[in-house]
Amino acid sequence: MEIIEKIQNQVTELLKDQFELELLSNQVVINKTRRDVAGDLTLVMFPFVKQLKKSPQEIGDIFSQRLSTTISEIKAIEIAGGFLNISLSDEYWNKVLKDLYHNPSFGTFPKNGKKILVEFSSPNTNKPLHLGHIRNILLGWSTSKISEAAGYKVIKTQIINDRGIAICKSMLAWQLFGEGKTPDSSNIKGDHFVGSFYVAFETHFKNEYNDWQNSAEAKNIFESESKENESYEAFLKRFKNEYFNRFSALGNQAKTMLQAWENDDPDIKALWKQMNSWVYDGFNTTYEALGVNFDALYYESDTYKLGKDIIENGLQDEVFYKKEDGSVWIDLESKKLDHKLVLRSDGTSVYMTQDIGTAQLRYKDHGVDSMIYVVADEQDYHFKVLFEILKELKEPYTDGLHHLSYGMVDLPTGKMKSREGTVVDADDLIKEVIDEARTGASDRGVLESISIEEREDIYRKIGLGALKFFILKVNPKKRMIFDPKDSVDMQGQTGPYIQNAVVRIESILRKLSDWDESLYFSYSSPLQIEKDLVKSLNEYPSEVLKAAEDKDPSIIASFAYELAKDFHKFYHDVRILKAESHSAKAYRVVLCTSIKNTLTKAMDLLGIEMPERM
RNA sequence: GGUCUCGUAGCUCAGCUGGAUAGAGCAGCUCACUUCUAAUGAGCAGGCCCCAGGUUCGAAUCCUGGCGGGAUCACCA
């Protein structure tokens, strides 16, 4: 806000003129005044007490003398201990409201010419999306919207992990037990259909392993390969993966299938395409339900061989080194990281290799200034290493690399575990929140006059609003607890609470008649609550910038909640349509319209739609 | 064990580039709908801001050391 700079500049000039004290203007600390104290801005004087060897009262007198004569927007200044509380004039705040009311792109910054690529979702194709993906998707989507509002051109992307042993397990199980069924024939959503065969594989494999445990072979292996004092149970738990690789018939078939896939076996490729297309149908339905989409897709089956040539070049430039067995490594000890493998001894890629190649490919494809990877914090180390390697390789885009690292989602009962069946399915969850909105609305019975279709659309907006807000209001970095009961709550600090503020304004605007917009600026004595609302609105653009800078949608969620809260209070205490004068009415309608517009924009940045009624 | 990260009300979370008496929501207890949508508002109650030091005029916030939770340290992804 310009006014803050004005004050800072006056103070630094004053200090220079009168005390020969040279300060940078941003060393003059100015905060918002506390709600319970009169004033708009608060200048902190403590730092000057020592430097000027004067009391806060004396400094306050000198400062306020200067500020009140040089800055016309200042109405009053009060000294309170070490704080200087500055009140700005009503005209100033009315001007602020006027400007933002007439600015259709309020809170949306002009294009800055920079491009950001945001990667999010990035599922495996062997099972449906779950709650963890939802947090990821909502964060990715919201960060994209916020970046756009802040002036960036955004390319939303994901890497689809469509190959590997996992999808082969689903494919094999379908071959063995599928009896030719399809999602259509069994009336199951495609991703769930394929996921059920993944589960079927795991079940059959587990049975096979159990049977094997009673065999002589198993006993022999235990004799020769168990650790000292290791129980048979502990051994079996540890040995499961190795059993898969060495002894399992099913494991063997799955691995054979993976090899066939890598050798481009036409039958296997056809099956793979078929099953993945079922999965994509399912994913698309879920994405659509969540209201998200992507601009560019990358498939692991296309990218998994990338990066090798970069490693080769890096080897020549001595960024990497080769061990005797032929494996290739990087030494990042100087960066307080470790030695990291980038190419196996057989010359094949690891995850890191692919990521190096994919980063370069994306830069070539889109020429972006920045790339944001929305990936859970369990991969913090991986991304530190990846970014360091890209820096060592002197890739041109490394200053713009960001890992939007978010905490895992826990349930009140603890971690989600697929083995224990505690994973919250994305589609179930979406259905549940919409059902809950429907139940709540029919209890209230206010929507009976409108069509079923419209009503359903409202339930959808409310239910998803509740879910999305519940997840996005939490700082991404923090691990969060998802209580399904709380997530469908629609009272208090929730999405529907904010939607309700907008709905109340819509209702007023529908009933509005007999008003003269031009009168609003002649309303000369705004109430405290009205000024507070204008002040909050005024902060919206800087909140957008901060959210973009921090890549943190929870900043927008907090802002929207605070604004809605002040509005509800205002609505309760102050008559709008029956205001005491025409100018007051006009002012309040303008204020309400600005609040509605701003809340709608803010919520749009969270991917939340606003109903007109609820 | 090394590294990273989190610890604020019964519960879920704000506040953290140091500033006045630490804030919300939920849950609990009151109160307010013939009123512009009560999915709302007002109130009560609830806190060694994990602990101990340090820096500072001033620390929930910064630093150090503990304690507790989580993640990670694969020729897995």
Topology at the third CATH level for domain A2-88 = Gyrase A; domain 2 (3.30.1360)
Quick: pLDDT tens for A185-227: 999 999 999 999 999 999 999 999 999 988 888 888 888 888 7
What average pLDDT does the segment A405-420 reach? 89
Identify any residues that bridge with A337 across adjacent strands, giving them in sequence order.
none
CATH of domain A426-605: 1.10.730.10
Question: Per-residue DSSP letters for A185-238?
Answer: HHT--HHHHHHHHHHHHHHHHHHHHHHHTTSHHHHHHHHHHPPTT--HHHHHHH
Average pLDDT over residues A387-392: 94
Give the separation between CA A466 and CA A394, rounded to whole angstroms: 45
* Distance, C-alpha A93 to centroid of its chain: 33
A341 CA, B74 C1': separation in Å? 10
Protein residue closest via CA to C1' of B25:
A493
Question: How do the domains of chain A map onto residue ranges?
Answer: 2-88, 117-301+366-410, 426-605
- Residue A292 predicted with pLDDT over 90: yes
Predicted local distance difference test score (pLDDT) of residue A254: 93
- Strand B proximal to A161 Cβ, under 7 A: yes
**Cα separation of A61 and A69, whole Å?**
12
Highest mean pLDDT among A79-83, A269-273, A451-455: A269-273
CB A606 within 8 A of CB A571: no
Give A24 CA → B72 C1' in Å: 42
Does residue A338 reach within 7 angstroms of strand B, measured from its CB? yes
A577-594 confidence digits (pLDDT tens): 999 999 999 999 999 999
Domains A2-88 and A426-605 share a fold: no
pLDDT of A109 higher than 70: yes
ipTM confidence: 0.96
* Distance of A157 CA from B2 C1′ (whole Å): 35
Strand B footprint nucleotides (protein C-beta < 7 Å) = 3-7, 11-15, 19-21, 24-27, 36-42, 57-58, 69-77
Per-residue pLDDT at A587: 95
Residues 6+ apart with CB under 8 A from A116: A144, A147, A152, A153, A154, A155, A368, A369, A370, A371, A372, A400
Fold of the CATH domain A117-301+366-410? Rossmann fold (3.40.50)
CA distance linking residue A297 with residue A507, whole number of Å: 42
Q: Is the pLDDT of residue A237 over 90?
A: no
Strand B reaches within 7 A of the A84 CB:
no
Query: Could you give the percent of chain A with pLDDT greater than 70?
Result: 100
Please state the rounded mean pLDDT for residues A528-555. 95
Q: What is the mean pLDDT of residues A331-346?
A: 89
Whether the beta carbon of A500 falls within 7 A of nucleic chain B: the reply is: yes
Give the model's pLDDT for residue A518: 87
A467-522 pLDDT, tens digit per residue, is 999 999 999 999 999 999 999 999 999 999 999 999 999 999 999 988 888 888 88
CA atoms within 13 A on the CB side of A439: 9
In angstroms, the CA of A412 and the C1' of B51 are apart by 27
Residue A408 CB closer than 7 angstroms to strand B? yes
Residue that wins the pLDDT comparison between A237 and A563: A563
Average pLDDT over residues A158-169: 94
Residue with more model confidence, A337 or A606: A606
Strand B: which residues 409-438 of A lie within 7 A (CB)? 415, 437
Q: Measured from the CB, is A579 under 7 Å from any atom of strand B?
A: no
Mind listing the pLDDT tens digit for each residue in A27-76?
889 999 988 888 999 999 998 888 888 888 999 999 999 999 999 999 99
Residue A564: is its pLDDT beyond 80?
yes
Summarised one tens digit per residue, pLDDT across range A14-31 is 988 888 888 887 788 999
Question: CA(A203)–C1'(B15) in Å?
Answer: 49
pTM: 0.95
- Tell me, in Å, how far CA of A493 is from C1' of B25? 5
Asked if pLDDT for residue A1 goes beyond 70, the answer is no
As a whole number, the mean pLDDT across chain A is 93
Q: A30: exposed, middle or buried (C-beta count within 10 Å: 0-12, 13-18, 19+)?
A: buried
| For residues A178-187, average pLDDT | 96
**Side by side, which strands form the sheet with A30-32?**
A30-32, A41-44, A83-88, A74-80
Tens of pLDDT, residues A536-545: 999 999 999 9
pLDDT for position A545 = 96
pLDDT at A236 over 90: no
Question: Could you give the percent of chain A with pLDDT greater than 90?
Answer: 78
Residue A200 to residues A126, A181, A398, Cα–Cα distance (Å): 12, 14, 43
Looking from the CA of A113 toward its CB, the CA atoms found within 13 Å total 0
Whether the pLDDT of residue A230 is over 80: the answer is: no
Within A321-421, residue ranges assigned H as helices are: 351-366, 380-392
DSSP A103-144: -TTTT-PPP-S-EEEEE----BTTS--BHHHHHHHHHHHHHH
Mean pLDDT computed over A559-565: 97
Confidence bin at A157 (pLDDT 50/70/90): very high
Distance CA A159, CA A300 (A): 6
